[in-house]
Amino acid sequence: MEAVVRTSGRIYPVQLDDQEWRARLAPAEYAVLRKGGTERPFTGEYTDDHTEGVYSCRACGSELFRSTEKFDSHCGWPSFFAPLAQDRVEYLSDGSAGMTRTEVRCANCGSHLGHVFEGEGYDTPTDQRYCINSISIRRGPATPPVAGTGTGPAGQE
Ligand SMILES: [Zn+2]
């Protein structure tokens, strides 16, 4: 099946052409991140990962998710109930699989991360499941909150 890459019209801070992405990413990474593919369930390295840390976009390095919002969905892919911050991700309506889903992309480079589902009844604060391909992200050490960014533990919003 030929994946159709849709554009949102957004101008991403990180802009590389197709050849540059191919040179920068492994073929399997390229297929998911740049072509909207999906890794096979229960095969990704972070599916059952509980290590504390921050997950960054494997294409551009933008920090996207934290281990503190990761939960066990048993769906076969790493699942988060919220992104690190809403402005780190972009949402696109995706009707490609015969149903309407919401695609999640990196807001910094436009790479495909996965999909978000809601109202499934998971016992999480948002009842949302960000179903993210392991191959789209890379875990790094947890970074201490930087003063003035609004992401510190004191923030209520
Ligand atoms: Zn990115």
Q: In this predicted model, what pLDDT tens digit does every residue of 47-68 receive, in sequence order?
A: 999 999 999 999 999 999 999 9
| Cα 106 to middle of ligand 1, angstroms | 5
Decide: helix, strand or coil at residue 33: helix
| Cα 113 to middle of ligand 1, angstroms | 9
| Cα 141 to middle of ligand 1, angstroms | 18
Instruction: Fill in the amino acid letter for 24.
Output: R
Please answer whether residues 126 and 110 qualify as being in contact, where contact means their C-beta atoms are separated by less than 8 angstroms. Answer: no
Number of helices (H) and strands (E) in the chain: give both, helices first.
2, 9
131 in active site: yes
Strand order in the sheet with 70-71: 70-71, 79-80, 128-132, 112-118, 101-106, 89-94
Is residue 19 pLDDT above 90, yes or no? yes
If one counts every other C-beta atom within 10 angstroms of the C-beta of residue 70, the result is: 23
| Cα 61 to middle of ligand 1, angstroms | 6
Instruction: Fill in the amino acid letter for 63.
Output: E
**Long-range contact list for 52-55, CB < 8 A, 24+ apart?**
52/142, 53/139, 53/140, 53/141, 53/142, 54/84, 54/139, 54/140, 54/141, 54/142, 54/143, 55/132, 55/137, 55/138, 55/139, 55/140
Is residue 3 pLDDT above 50, yes or no? no
Identify the active-site residue in 60, 106, 109, 131.
Answer: 131
Give the mean model confidence (pLDDT) for residues 136-140.
97
Q: What pLDDT digit, counting tens, does each position of 73-104 carry?
A: 999 999 999 999 999 999 999 888 788 899 99
